[in-house]
Structure 1
Amino acid sequence: MKFELEEISPTEKKINVEIPHEEVEKILSKKYKELRKRVKIKGFRPGKAPRFMLERFYGPQVNQETVQELLEINIPKILEESEIEPLVELEYDFEEIDFKGQKPLKFSAIAEVKPEITIEDYRGIPLKKEVIEVTDREVEEKLQELRENNAYLETVEEPPPVKEGDFVVIDFDTMIDGEKKDDLSAVDFTLEVGKAQIHADFDSQLLGMKVGETRSVKIQYSPETPNKELAGKEVEFKVTLEEVKQKVLPELDDEFARDLGDFSSLEEIKEKIREELLKMKESRSENMLREQLFNALLERTSFELPRRLVELEMALMVEQFKKQLEARGLTLPDIHSSEDALKEQYRPEAER
C-alpha cells in the first residue's frame, strides 16, 4: 500500500491511496472462500461452485465487503503514519471498484483536521470575576421552595364557592361536534384554578361552582392549538365539581428537617442550602470567566473553520429543535420554516 498527502486547505488534507492488486486479491479470495461454503448455486454441489459463478451472482457485494475490510486494515495505519487526527469521518472518493485485470484499488480520502491557531497578545487580558456571597434571604427563599415541594392537599369540608387559587377535583366529559371524546375526558382530575392547566377560559368558568354542581364549559380553541383534535374547534366540557382542596404547608421546624431524612435540625438544612448555593455560584462564576476568556481569545485570532464539522453541528442543532417541536405536536412547516433556513440561523452559534 502506498499513499500521498495533499493539503487542500488549513483544515482539509487529501490522502491519495493505492492498494496493490496482490493485497486486494488476498482479501477477495478469502471472501469468496467463505461465501462458497454458505451459498447454493444451481447445478453445483454445496461448496463446489467455481469463483466465476460466485462473481456473477455476488460480485458487487463481495467487492464492497472487500473494500470495507481493506479500509479497516489500511486507514488506521495511514492516519498513524501521517499523524492525522480527523475531526469527523473521512470522505471517500473511489476511482472505480473493479478488481478484474489485476487492477489495484485507487481512492482518495478527505480528512478534516484542526486548524493551526496562533494567539497573539493574550497576556494581561482583563477579566471580571463575580463577587460571591450567599445572603440569608436567598437561603430563606430556597427553604420556602423546599416547603412548597413538601406541601400536601387536604379536602375542605363545606367549602365556599370556587375561587382562583383553589385546588379542585373534577370529572368532565369532553364533547366535540356533539360527540364525547373519551381520550379527552377525565375522572378525579385535580387542577389549581388560575394555572390554565387545560385552558385559561376553562378556569374562569369554574369560578363560583359548588361541590356537586355540574356546569357546561365552552371553549373556542385557536387554529394554532398544538393538539390537532382541538385546533379550531369549539369544545364543550361537562364539568362536575367533586371536591375542593387546600394546600397545607409543613411547619418549618426540626421535625420538618427530620422528615426530610439526613437532618436533625432546621439549622442543618439551612447550612446545607447555603453550601449548595455557594457551590452553584462558584461554578457559575468559573463558567463566566471561561466565557470571557474564550470571547477575548476569539477577538485576538482568526482561522479557517472545519467545514464539515460546522455542518454537523448545525445539523445536530436542527434535529434538537425538531424534537422540541415534535413534543409540542408541531413540525417545521407549521412554523413556516425549513431545515436549510434553520441551519443558516444556527450557523453563528455552530461556528463558535
Structure 2
Amino acid sequence: MNPVLDVRDLRVEFPTAAGALGVVDGVSFDVGPGETVALVGESGSGKSVSSLAVLGLLGRGRIAGGSVSFRGEEIAGAGPERLRRLRGAEIAMVFQNPMSALDPLFSVGDQVVEAIRVHRPVGRAQARERAVELLREVGLPDPERRMRSYPHELSGGQQQRVGVAMALACDPELLIADEPTTALDVTVEAQILALMRRLQREHGAALLLITHDMSVVARMADRVVVMYAGQVVERGTVAEVLSAPTHPYTRALIGSVPTVHTGRDELLTVIPGSVPNPADVPDGCRFHPRCPQAVERCRTEVPPVVRTGEGRISRCWLAEDAGRVPAPTGAPGTGAR
C-alpha cells in the first residue's frame, strides 16, 4: 500500500548572518494510511521543523533538498495557492500550544466555522451545524453554548479539544500533531491522547505525532523515528525499538521515562549535556559528546546508516560493528516497511 506521506532525504536551511544554517539533514520517513508514526527526540532535534516543512510553514527557512510526497504528489516547493488548498483540507495540524493556536478575538464557533467554509462550499448555517457536531465529537460539554465562548474562557484541555475539532473539520487524510499535550497536566494529556486515537480510527486518518516523550510513543504509535541533531538515528516499529533499541540515544530516552516497575529509590537515566547548536555540530557521530559508549572512532568518523532488521535502521558504529547490513544509498531512515 502506498504511503500517504513520503519524506525522503529532507534538508532544511535557515538564513543567518554567517550564511545558510542547516537544521534538518537527510531526514526520511513515511506514514501509511491509518498509521501513526512518531517523530521523537529532545527539543532541538529537528522533529518540529521536519513536520512544518511538510506544510510549507517554515517562515524564513526553506527546503534545501529532498522530496516531500503527499499521495504521490511532490509538494516540496509547491506554490502558495496549492499549499493553501492543502492545509486544513487534506493535511491538518494540531499545534503544541492551543492558546496561541486559537485567535483570542473570535469565538470558538466562528473559528471552527471558518475552518470548514475555507475548504468546503457550504453555507454558514450548515457550517455551524457541522461545527456543533465536531465540538460534541471531541467531548466538549454543551457544544451549542461553547460555540459562543472565547478561547480564554476555556481550560487548556478544552482549548486543545477545539484545536482537534478544527483539524478534523474537513476530514483530512493526514493529521500532524506537534507535541499536542505538552502544556497539559497528565490527566488531561491521557484524555486528549485517547480522544485523538479514537478519532483517528473513526476518520481513518494517518497521524504524524511529534513528541519528546517515549511513554506517549508507546501508547500511540505503530512506528517510531528517533531524531537527534537534525538526523534520524533509529527507526522501526514501536514494539521492536522499545524492546531492543540499537542506538545509545534511543536507550537513554527510554531509560529516562519512569514505569510502573520503577522503584522509589531507583534512578532514571539522565542524558548529560544538550543537543548541539546546528551551527556547531561535533565531528563524527553527533551524539558522541553525550554518549557513554563512545569510542575514538565515534569522535572522528561519521557513522553510516545501517539496516538492523526488517524495516529497521540505526546510525551508530555499534550497529555497524555488529555486522549489520548497510542501508540502501540515499535512504537514511528509508520509508520501506
- TM-score of the pair, normalised by structure 2: 0.22
Higher helix share: 1
Q: Which has the higher contact order (CA 8 A, sep 6+)?
A: 2
- TM-score of the pair, normalised by structure 1: 0.21
Rg: which structure is higher? 1
